[in-house]
A and B are shown apart, each in its own frame.
Chain A
Amino acid sequence: MDEPALILDAQRGDLNAFNRLVLEYQTPVYNLAYRIMGEGDAAADATQEAFISAYKHIGHYRGGSFKAWLMRIVTNACYDELRRRKRRPAASLDALAVVPEGPDAESEAALVSHEESPEDHAQRRELAEQIQNCLNRLPDEMRVVAILCDVQDMDYAEIAASTGLALGTVKSRLSRARARLRDCLQNVRELLPAAYRLEDGTSV
């Protein structure tokens, strides 16, 4: 994919070029929204909202990482939705409490290896739910940074570009988010695979 050419064509109004960019990035964009929002419907809404906003404002894109630009848009869309939920808390707390069953769980299952036993799959899914619950308990600004770094595998500079934060702020928020996650995960330590708990070298 010639990304710069597609972006240029999209800026000239070529819808097909823009849709090719959508297909390229919709999985990371949706996953970021899914981890921030904690449930599939809200994540889909935020993702669609983000791509609509991207199409509307693609003329304002001035180079740099297009993925970081998209991530920033979807992060803002998620923030907007979270703010709306805080104004109407009754409709949102339940949704944030647990990872819902249904289509999202099926989507995850679709990516699970077929070599995995049913027991392993169930345990893996339970662990994913516990981790997501720990993520949901983080403050929004910490959750976003932790997801961008440890789920989306973005480096500090990309996270700073995606969130509009200074590098130092990214570093400190990530540290605090990880410390809180560590405390939360102590409760599900037995679910964590032994490999997670190995006290080996510096590699993660």
Chain B
Amino acid sequence: MNDLSFHEKSTWGTLVALIAIAVLYTLEVLDVSRAGAMHAGTVTGLMIGYTVLLVVVLVVYHLVLALAERPADEDERDRLIGWRAGNIGGLVLGFGVFGVIGHVLIGGMLGDARLLTPPAIANLLLLALFLATVVELSIKLYHYRRGI
């Protein structure tokens, strides 16, 4: 771990926390869906609750990290890696949003109402955001290890 910079450790922690909390959120959403309680209010509560949980976990992680070693300012390599990863993450998010738009439009044309409810669309958009963030963080880690 000593070979990793503060920013690389931060990226690892964020990726692991994000995936772990996404798994918990997905399991709970599936439970709610099976129980037939997939309403906008329920999903809103879950999204807010798990977002707060993610923020708390990340704050605690970064506090511990900052106590273990002095947080370093970003240098030019960190910024370059961030820009490249951010560009690709942005592309993934764009494709995801357009995918959801297509899903809504095509679903609307086909008249399938099950996946066109506000909670379903909100979860699809959240999935797009999750995938984009995971791709961005993974590309960061790739460049930290393999070079840029």
Tell whether A pairs with B.
Answer: no
